[in-house]
Structure 1
Amino acid sequence: MTRTLSAVSAAVAALVAVALPAAADPAIEARIDALIARMTLAEKIGQLTVESHGPFGTRERIATGEIGNVINYANAGETGDVQAEAAKSRLGIPLLTGLDVLHGYRTLFMVPLGQAASFDPELNRRAAEAIARETTLQGVNWTYAPMVDIGRDPRWGRVVEGAGEDPWLAARMAAARVTGYRAGGLVVTPKHFVGYGAPAAGLDYAPADMSEATLRDVYLPPFRAAVEAGAQAIMPALSALNGIPASVDSRLLTGILRGEWGFRGFVVSDWGAIDQLGNHGIDPDRAVMARKTFAAGVDMDMASGTYRTRFPEEVAAGRVSEAAIDAAVRRVLRVKFEAGLDTRKPIPWKEAEAAMLAPATRDLAVEVARRSIVLLENRRETVPIEGRRKVLLVGALADIAREHVGPHAAQYREQDVVTIRRALAERAARAGIAFDFQAGCDAFCTDERGFGAAVKAARAADVIVAVLGEPGDIAGEAASRADPNLPGRQQALLERLVATGKPVVLVVMAGRPLIVPWAAEHVSALLTTWYPGTYGSRALAEILFGDTAPSGRLPMTWPRHPGQIPITYDRLRSGRPAERDQKFTSKYVDVDWKPQFAFGHGLSTTRFAYDGLRLDRTEVATDGRLTATVTVTNAGRRAGREVVQLYVRDVQSSRVRPDRQLKGVASVDLAPGEAKTVSIPIDVADLGFHDETGTYRVEAGRFEVFVGGSSEATLSAAFTATGPDLVRPPGGR
């Protein structure tokens, strides 16, 4: 039976075609006018200040209105107390109570990079909403998320917080996550605007340098999508872009963000960013730092105290205008009142605690992991491991709760976490399969003392599941790695296990692509479970034992050697493209130029076949739309979900263009032998590029379309864009 599917559900289509934020509410604006007229300068500056739990902030200053926003008050008891202090203040303005909630509060979902492997914005929206609902029960009303930086260098540890290398996919994930967080009641702060994800040599906080075309084609789209989805705040990067620290880059913060995109929210500095400007070589005088940052467009100072301590004198001296302060205060108050913070009632701590870990949230966390674990290799159909008599699990990471939740674990608790060891042991017991566990070594695998016991147990097993990868301490912020491979002696342990001759299933737990060429060639099966979160290990057990088929796809290219980094699927074309038998072409002489695993790659435990690719028209205007259809058949013996990907190549252009770019995705569930026709729309206006003036162009000419299960898809068709070129000014839609 063949059926036609829409490529994007109505909900996801709404995310893609979002409008700019609505005009200001007159009633709220009138209320803000009245408040600003009554506020002292100190109270105004308080609204532009965020201070942390502990020595940096005091409840007395909250009660006097000198501090209007806080960070790291993390539960209902703490947030209730500080909101009560704010209510005692002369004007009673509620606090923004912020916390880094990226992939969960108490229920930790799979890390954001892993969630992006679902290639499903609607699933990500649902996850973000569930996370927000759990978070707001504790009185936290503001998150510094989502991180929407494009991550193209796996040496950079913070790729774990984003959606990967592709601007089309990342923009849709950004919109989905913003929409979900807002629906769940959180004030949303996409970060880090902009270029933070392109640091020199992959070093966190290092400067980035890029062309205007690259900035607008690659790094800005997720931020724009987040703004158009309703982001209420933006956080600038700690780093410098093209020689200018983001916190003082008025072209970015005022020219692009507010001028071109019409952003109506507020801009908040990253932690201590204003004080750190001196390290960039900006004037070390804190008053000068405050003036330059504020003039560039940063409304709120996080944790440095610079605005609070310097602005009174700066205003008195006429170096900072009170009118400009009023405008920034208006932006902050608008967000507070539009979010309804003044109408929210605190929930008693015991009641909030009882509402944590709700069954629906737990089930959704498992669903996200089920859709995001990626099967990279599966020789001789080793996975699923059903029918085995004895399973051995090896690897300390599989038994350490903290290692499952990844960086920015918010308020996770160790006792909540279902470890991989527990999930596999329970599933094996239900199947009547013997199960054993050996750590082999510690999480960093610093020595080989446990290797002997692991190898002895391996010889007695029918199949070995080895869980190796990165401990959480070397992922995330300030965790750049020059060689992101298996740490310590992990590969030596893996080699010993493979040498037993027993099938070895390697499960990589990490927050980035790891370089594992030996493993990729020698293990029987290879999966990445990212950091699966509180309950995601149950999804891994389902996949390994054949209860469900994996459907995750890689949102970042996995290199085979650190010398290839940065490596992406959409690299610009060369005049001498790589040819294996031609020396003078674009390749390495000592390693294959191709990645270990391509962007979009991911296997199932069944097989899918593609045929019958058609375009409903072969000529279309540069502002028109066409539809690609393809028949996908489950040619295997198990039910499964295929993630159908559509890529477009601009064949001839006035600028060098990428080899191909992702422009559409559809997921399809198929029973064995079943076929469905999948339809994916293509908006020609989305196929353009920016030039060095920031002008956007879609040029008439020939385009090739590729459809398949990864960025290496070969099934193709072509169309011609006709008529005059589509030209839009910088920021135009």
Structure 2
Amino acid sequence: VERVLVLKELLGLFEDPFVDEEGEKCFFSPEHRAAARDSARRSMVLLKNEAKVLPIEKGTKIALIGPLCDNKVDVLGSWAGKCEPDKTITVLEGIVDAYGCGNVLHTKGCDIDSDDKSGFEEALNIAKQADVVVLAVGESRDMSGEASCRSDLRLPGVQEDLILKIAETGKPTCAIVFAGRPIVMERWKDSVKSILFAGQTGTETGNAVADILTGVYNPSGRLTCTFPHSVGQIPLYYNSLNTGRPALGKTRFEAKYMDAPVEPAFCFGYGLSYTEFEYLNLQMSKKEINKDEFLDISVDVANLGEYDGEEVVQLYVRDVIGTSARPMKELKGFKKVFVKKGETERVSFRLHASSLAFHNFEMKQVVENGEFILMIGKNSKDIVLEDKFYVKEKG
């Protein structure tokens, strides 16, 4: 409550609690729209890109198919409130603006949540005429959110059937997924060459998608949650406790499902780029810190690919031994750094001992002495560099 009251004081709401009606005129100003576009494209996550289907060159004939292609409402998300959908740039509008009307064929194919397949034939016809197929699929904005959620994480209706039918044409296919939560893609993810998870990114969605497809913007988003192979894997999270039953091994008592992998389809922190990054030269300022000290960490990030791009460097820590069970790893920091192709940038973190605290059995927040493993990774699974440090009592 105190923080809320402080914020209200800083905003001047106690002196003038009424909203300035003139402020509404700025909602869709060029500056606001530019910020919305940049936020949208920076948050989209490239999950798959086989054979470098993306980016798509100008002049390419594109078949744009799916129920979210020309949708102005559902891409806004469940918390858009009393939105102004007429201001939304749809995926169709964004791609037509980027590639030209003559290079884009479009049809819906099916509705978001319907068993009607009557649009499949037209979808297949235009797919066969194109060089590349872009599918815009996903959920409506009321399928996730406050007091509103489907129990099934698969795409609703016949969208999965549509994806599989289009894939049978043999055309390189990119699936853009719009949803406010993780989606199970197990049935169809191996049938498409590229997958872009676009979330529900608001008014400038169409332009943001076009920026990524054209290569104007190199995707740099990372997953903030874990995507399972099936709903039966839930709960599934990166910072799990050590169970004592390894996920790998030949013993009878290894951790496993009978019909699914133990690992997620896409882990926490996952996301691809059009370029390739390498991490080098991990350094720590010291090997031991007191409970009131900082640990400075730095690492080189080299861009080895053909595009300029942004990389999200992730810092994880594991408390090796605690008085209560500790997670296998915990995210303690991340930084997004822009690196030009062929160049290297140094990324630094400052970790205070207090960030290693946890609640013990007495429900007291404590930092315990002992060994910690520091990990630098591209995501929660792909840990590239490791080192150790120790926390000790002062003196």
Q: Does 1:612 align with 2:281?
A: yes
In structure 2, the partner of 1:631 is 300
- Find the partner of 1:665 among 334, 345, 348: 334
- Partner deviation per Cα, 1:31-87 (whole Å, 9 max, x = no partner): xxxxxxxxxxxxxxxxxxxxxxxxxxxxxxxxxxxxxxxxxxxxxxxxxxxxxxxxx
The residue correspondences of 1:423-434 to structure 2 (distance < 5 A) are 423-429=94-100, 434=103
Q: Does 1:515 align with 2:188?
A: no
Distance in 1 (alpha carbons) for counterparts of 2:266 and 2:11 = 45
Q: Does 1:404 align with 2:75?
A: yes
The aligned residue for residue 339 of structure 1 is 12
Change over 3 Å in CA distance of 1:622–1:344 after alignment to 2: closer
Alpha-carbon distance between aligned partners in 1 of 2:291 and 2:191, rounded to the nearest angstrom: 48
The equivalent residue for 1:498 is 167
CA shift for structure 1 position 338? 7.9
Letter in 2 for 1:421: L
Task: Output the TM-score relative to the length of structure 2.
Answer: 0.94
Which residue matches 1:391? 62
Partner AA of 1:504 in structure 2? T
Who wins on radius of gyration, i.e. which is larger? 1
1:724 Cα offset (Å): 6.5
1:382 pairs with 2:53: yes
**CA deviation after TM superposition for structure 1 residue 714, in Å:** 3.4
TM-superposed deviation, 1:535: 1.1
Contact in 2 for aligned 1:649/1:658 (Cα 8 Å): yes
Judge conservation of contact 1:388–1:462 (CA < 8 Å) in 2.
no
Match for residue 701 of structure 1? 370
Q: Which residue of 2 aligns with 1:719?
A: 389
Following TM superposition, where does structure 1 have runs of at least 4 consecutive aligned residues deviating by more than 6 angstroms? none
Q: Which amino acid aligns with 2:368?
A: E
Task: Measure the CA separation in 2 of the matches of 1:526 and 1:654.
Answer: 43
Change (3 A) 1:488 1:343: closer
2:64–2:106 CA contact under 8 A, matched in 1: yes
Q: In the alignment, residue 361 of structure 1 is paired with which amino acid?
A: H
SS in 2 for 1:410: coil
Partner-residue secondary structure (3-state), 2:38: helix
Cα 1:657/1:337, change in 2 over 3 Å: closer
Distance 1:659 1:338 in 2: 41
Which one of the candidate residues 331, 356, 379 is aligned to 2:27? 356
Alignment of 1:485-634 (within 5 A): 485-634=154-303
The alignment-based identity, stated in percent, is 36
Instruction: List per-residue Cα deviations over 1:609-635 (Å, max 9, x = no partner).
Output: 111112121111133211111111001
Residues 1:587 and 1:356: Cα distance change in structure 2 (over 3 Å): same
Superposed displacement of residue 386, structure 1: 1.2
Structure with greater helix share of residues: 1
* Residue aligning to 1:70: none
- Return the alpha-carbon distance in structure 1 between the equivalents of residues 390 and 57 of structure 2: 50
Counterpart amino acid of 1:569? Y
Gaps of 5+ in 2: none
Residues 427-458 of structure 1: per-residue CA shift (max 9 Å, x gap): 011xx861111100112243111001101110
2:70–2:92: 8 Å Cα contact kept in structure 1?
yes
1:413 aligns with 2:84: yes
- For 2:163, what is the secondary structure of its paired residue? helix
In the alignment, structure 1 residue 231 sits paired with structure 2 residue 4: yes
Q: CA RMSD in A?
A: 2.1
Deviation at 1:344, TM superposition (A): 6.2
Alignment partners' CA distance in 1, 2:194 and 2:56 = 10
Alpha-carbon distance between aligned partners in 1 of 2:41 and 2:68, rounded to the nearest angstrom: 19
Query: Contact 1:700/1:724 (CA < 8 Å) preserved in 2?
Result: no
Question: Which amino acid in structure 2 is aligned with residue 648 of structure 1?
Answer: V
Question: Are 2:135 and 2:176, in contact at CA under 8 Å, matched by a contact in 1?
Answer: yes
Following TM superposition, by how much is the alpha carbon of 1:498 offset from its aligned partner in structure 2, in angstroms?
Answer: 0.7
Distance 1:568 1:581, change over 3 A: same
Q: Structure 2 CA distance, aligned partners of 1:446 and 1:705?
A: 50
1:272 corresponds to: none
Q: Is the 8 A contact 2:45 2:272 kept in 1?
A: yes
String of CA shifts for 1:202-244, please: whole Å, max 9, x gaps. xxxxxxxxxxxxxxxxxxxxxxxxx67x323xxxxxxxxxxxx
The answer on 1:457 being equivalent to 2:130 is no
Give the structure 1 partner of residue 139 of structure 2.
470
Three-state SS of the structure 1 residue aligned to 2:188 is helix
- Asked if structure 1 preserves the Cα contact closer than 8 Å seen for 2:279 and 2:384, the reply is no
The alignment of Structure 1 onto Structure 2 pairs a total of residues equal to 394
SS in 2 for 1:658: coil
Shift of the 337–479 alpha-carbon distance from structure 1 to 2, 3 Å rule, reads: closer
Per-residue deviation, 1:579: 1.1
Q: Secondary structure at the match of 2:187?
A: helix
SS at match of 1:399: coil
Tell me: CA distance 1:453–1:687, structure 2 relative to 1, closer, same or farther (3 Å).
same
Distance in 1 of aligned mates of 2:188 and 2:286: 45
Give the drift of 1:408: 2.3
Q: Which amino acid aligns with 1:467?
A: A
Secondary structure at the aligned position of 1:427 is classed as: helix
- In structure 2, the partner of 1:57 is none
Deviation at 1:598, TM superposition (A): 0.5
Q: 1:344 to 1:463 in 2, by over 3 A?
A: same
CA deviation after TM superposition for structure 1 residue 704, in Å: 0.6
Contact 1:646 1:662 in 2 (8 A): yes
TM-score (norm 1): 0.52
- Who is 1:481 aligned against? 150
Deviation sequence 1:443-479 (CA, Å, 0-9, x none):
2243111001101110111100101110112121222
Kept in 2: contact 1:440–1:453 (CA 8 A): yes
Cα shift readout 1:477-521 (whole Å, capped 9, x = no counterpart):
222222211111110000001111011100000000101113332
State the alpha-carbon separation in 2 of the partners of residues 485 and 681 from structure 1.
Answer: 40
Consecutive unaligned residues of structure 1, counting only runs of 5 or more, are 1-226, 233-263, 266-334, 726-733
In structure 2, what residue type is equivalent to 1:561?
Answer: S
Whole-Å separation in 2 of the counterparts to 1:696 and 1:346 = 41
In the aligned structure 1, how far is the partner of 2:375 from the partner of 2:340? 25
Residues 92-491 of structure 1 correspond to what in structure 2 (within 5 A)?
A: 230-232=3-5, 339-343=12-16, 347=20, 351=22, 353-387=24-58, 389-429=60-100, 434-491=103-160
C-alpha distance after superposition, 1:564-602 (max 9, x if no partner): 111100011112221153331222122100000010001
Rounded to whole Å, the distance in 1 between the matches of 2:299 and 2:27 is: 44
User: Residues 111 and 157 of structure 2 are in contact (CA less than 8 Å); yes or no, is this contact kept in structure 1?
Assistant: no
1:388–1:463 CA contact under 8 A, matched in 2: no
**340 and 673 in structure 1: CA distance in 2 versus 1, 3 angstrom threshold:** same
Offset of residue 667 of structure 1: 1.4
